[in-house]
């Protein structure tokens, strides 16, 4: 990559800015009953969760679906969505990284597979969302990473050039999805590693 070419840095949210831990959510929701791995799979790899992230229905409608189709009780659904939000703690160093990248003059954006009600919670709980120059949320555009449509939506909506943009995500398939449409990408491990990777491709901050 040509040094100094990048003008825009796009951040995933879950496990880049805030923690996302389906196993922990499952343990907190269901306690010691059954396998947390199986519980997490039944909740988060279910078409209900995917459709919720696509914006096809609300959190309230998702709770009804989980009761009808998965057999969760009303109390379990209430606990589930409570812990979905409350476990999303800030990842050490990520806010500082975002702030310094923005202060250096780069455009900063979000690209996230996320639920409307979770985004509202993050906006009301943390300060980082207000730093973004724009955000592309799966529930608003109807696509999920690594579908090429969601990356194209990011570029078109915010008038970004792929060659001038780098995307940060913790999942390798999402990194590959960005690269497939011409966006540079970094697989996030921690804030220090991410900072070094950004500087390696020519960012100065």
pLDDT at 33: 79
For 92-140, the pLDDT digits (tens) are 999 999 999 999 999 999 999 999 999 999 999 999 999 999 999 999 9
For 156-199, the pLDDT digits (tens) are 999 999 999 999 999 999 999 999 999 999 999 999 999 999 99
pLDDT at 4: 64
Q: Quick one: which of 79, 91, 87 has its CA closest to 30?
A: 79
User: CA 127 to CA 112: how far, in whole Å?
Assistant: 17
pLDDT at 1: 45
| DSSP letters spanning 104-141 | TT-EEEEEE---HHHHHHHHHH-SGGGG-SEEEEHHHH
């Amino acid at each position: 990559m040509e040094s100094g070419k990048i003008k825009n840095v796009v951040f995933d949210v879950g496990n880049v800015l805030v923690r996302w831990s389906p196993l922990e959510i499952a343990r907190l929701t269901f306690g010691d009953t059954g396998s947390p791995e199986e519980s997490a799979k039944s909740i988060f790899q279910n078409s209900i969760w995917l459709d919720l992230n696509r914006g096809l229905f609300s959190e309230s409608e998702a709770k009804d679906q989980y009761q009808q189709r998965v057999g969760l009780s009303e109390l379990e659904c209430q606990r589930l969505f409570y812990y979905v939000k409350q476990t999303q703690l800030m990842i050490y160093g990520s806010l500082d990284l975002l702030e310094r990248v923005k202060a250096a003059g780069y455009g900063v954006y979000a690209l996230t597979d996320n639920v409307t009600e979770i985004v509202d919670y993050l906006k009301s709980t943390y300060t980082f969302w207000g730093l973004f120059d724009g955000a592309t949320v799966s529930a608003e555009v109807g696509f999920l990473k690594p579908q090429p449509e969601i990356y194209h939506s990011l570029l078109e909506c915010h008038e970004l050039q792929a060659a001038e943009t780098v995307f940060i995500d913790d999942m390798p398939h999402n990194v590959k999805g960005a690269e497939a449409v011409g966006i540079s990408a970094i697989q996030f491990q921690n804030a220090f590693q991410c900072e070094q990777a950004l500087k390696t491709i020519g960012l100065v901050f």
